[in-house]
Chains A and B, each alone.
Chain A
C-alpha cells in the first residue's frame, strides 16, 4: 500500500521557470492538501481540496495553482518560480476534514 506519493523528490528551478508537483494517494481519501515547510514556520497550507473537481485557498496561496481532476491526484503548479518559493513541499490526504492526515515524503524545491 503506497499511501501518498509525491513526485519529484528534488528539483532545482531557475527564477521564472514553471513546474508541476504531483501528488497521488491510493486510500480513496476525499481531502487533499498542499503544505510548504520552512525553518521555524511549521507547515503552512497552500491550497486544499475537499473532493474531486474542487479546490480552495489556504494560508499562503499566492504564486501557486492547483487542480484535482481525479480523486486520487492533486497537482500543485508554480507558473513563474521565485526564490521565495524555495521550500519543502508536502502533500497530505485525509478521509475527512478532521481526520488523521497522511503525508507524502516531500519535495525539496530550490529556486535559484
Chain B
C-alpha cells in the first residue's frame, strides 16, 4: 500500500518553456503533499507543502510565481516550473503522507534538464 506515482520520470525542455510534474497517491488520500528538490550529491530540500483545496506553503527562498503548485484533489498535486532556466535543472521529488506521523511515501522523482 501507500504508493505515490510521479510523472514524468525524465523531461528535457528548452530554456523559457514551462514543465508540469504530476504527483498522485494511488491507494490512499493525501491531504498533504510535499515537493522537494535535490541537486547531485546533496540532500532533499523542501520547496513547498501542498494542502488539498488551499494555497501551498512555500519555503523561504522558493519563488511562488516560478514554482506553481496545485493540489486540486486528495490524490493529485502538480508542480509547474514556469519559464525554466538551466539552473532549474534538478531532481524533483514529491511525497505524500496519509496521517500525521511518518513515514512519508515518495514518488520516484522527475529528472528535469533545461537546455
A joins B in a complex? no
Taking beta carbons and an 8 Å cutoff, which residues of A are in contact with B?
Answer: none
Taking beta carbons and an 8 Å cutoff, which residues of B are in contact with A?
Answer: none
